[in-house]
Amino acid sequence: MAVRKWKKYIIRKAFDCAPDGKPYLPKSILWRQKEQFSDGVGYSWIDGMKEHAASVVSDEDFAKRAERWAEDTPDTKEAYMIRDIFDGLFPSEAAAKTAVRWIPRGDWGCSSDPSGRAVSIHDAAYGTTDE
């Protein structure tokens, strides 16, 4: 068994049964396929965030994003909005350096979508298509 699978197995076993023998979580949840954030909260919530970002981030501001953030420049309006909120709450350069940006891996089938929704495994698992 690969190291990665062992880590998941150990975590799952830790929540498998309480000392009284009753499971902490139903087996259907405990042993299901690992999912990304967008799956856990539902695509409608992610779609709502994207729609909101499209309404609050102007095309003009988005076009100038590299001027504002030369490093780790957001490549979607959703990512722009998240970065803008973070900078508003934590305005120092030191704070920005503590936040690690998830960089999607093309060889995993990932796009730049911050929700991870465009990963190709979702097409097969849920019958969805990329936007």
4 in a domain, yes or no? no
70 in a domain, yes or no? yes
105 in a domain, yes or no? yes
Cα angle: 16, vertex 120, 124; to 5 degrees:
70
Residue 37 predicted with pLDDT over 70: no
3 in a domain, yes or no? no
Q: How far apart are CA 43 and CA 115, in angstroms?
A: 9
Q: How far is CA 69 from the centre of its chain?
A: 21
Residue 125 predicted with pLDDT over 70: no
Mean pLDDT of the chain: 77
109 in a domain, yes or no? yes
Percent of the chain, pLDDT > 70? 63
Q: Is the pTM of this model over 0.75?
A: no
Q: Token pair for residue 12?
A: 């799952």
Q: What's the total number of domains in the chain?
A: 1
7 in a domain, yes or no? no
Residue 31 predicted with pLDDT over 90: no
29 in a domain, yes or no? no
54 in a domain, yes or no? yes
* Residue range 65-98, pLDDT digits in tens: 999 998 888 888 998 999 999 999 999 988 888 8
Q: How far apart are CA 131 and CA 127, in angstroms?
A: 13
Q: What range defines the domain where residue 63 resides?
A: 35-123
**Confidence at residue 99, expressed as pLDDT on a 0 to 100 scale:** 76
